[in-house]
């Protein structure tokens, strides 16, 4: 059986071989499209403010892939790619990084193991994930809320108006 996954990509550090964060994401696309994983679609790259202590802006994107790999096996492959780009897992949480790859959604719904939770627990609150995800999977639904990605994005980014009191 072939599964589909929505994966979020982020980078805010240059790589000695690939260049600036946007170029790191472009090189990552080539790594993702391999024998065991088929790259179906990639979003445009956006820039976002960092979370936590990092001071450098992030380049973010999202991809839709198809594979026979289980969620845990895909996670292992993504971590291997991160390692090839110099990812240090013992570093500061939310610190600067050359490459961050997160499984956001899976075509089979929810999944949990000791190392992975799908859907990604924070994706509903992150416009830097939802905005690129709209490029590749706007109609995908969050298996927890039942809402489409475009609905989650609207809820996150809409401006609330304060009702006026009538005299």
Catalytic residues: 87, 97, 100, 102
Annotate 56-89 with DSSP letters as a single string: SPEEEEEEEEEES--HHHHHHHHHHHHHHTT--T
Taking the C-alpha atoms of residue 4 and residue 51, their distance in angstroms, rounded to an integer, is 28
**Strand, helix or coil for residue 90:** coil
H or E element, residue 102: strand 100-106
Question: Is 132:43 a contact under the CB 8 Å cutoff?
Answer: yes
Structure tokens at 113: 């193991």
């Amino acid at each position: 059986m072939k599964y589909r996954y929505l994966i979020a990509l982020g980078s805010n550090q240059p790589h000695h071989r690939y260049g600036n964060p946007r170029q790191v994401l472009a090189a990552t696309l080539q790594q993702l499209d391999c024998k065991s994983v088929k790259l179906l679609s990639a979003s445009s790259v956006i820039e976002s403010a960092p979370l936590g202590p990092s001071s450098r802006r992030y380049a973010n994107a999202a991809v839709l892939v198809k594979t026979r790999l289980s969620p845990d096996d895909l996670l292992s492959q993504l971590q291997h790619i991160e390692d090839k780009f110099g990812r240090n897992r013992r570093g500061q949480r939310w610190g600067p990084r050359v490459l961050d790859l997160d499984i956001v959604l899976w075509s089979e719904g929810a999944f949990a193991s000791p190392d992975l939770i799908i859907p990604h627990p924070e994706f509903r609150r992150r416009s830097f994930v939802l905005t690129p995800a709209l490029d590749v999977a706007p109609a995908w639904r969050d298996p927890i809320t039942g809402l489409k990605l475009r609905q989650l994005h609207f809820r996150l980014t809409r401006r609330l108006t304060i009702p006026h009191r009538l005299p």
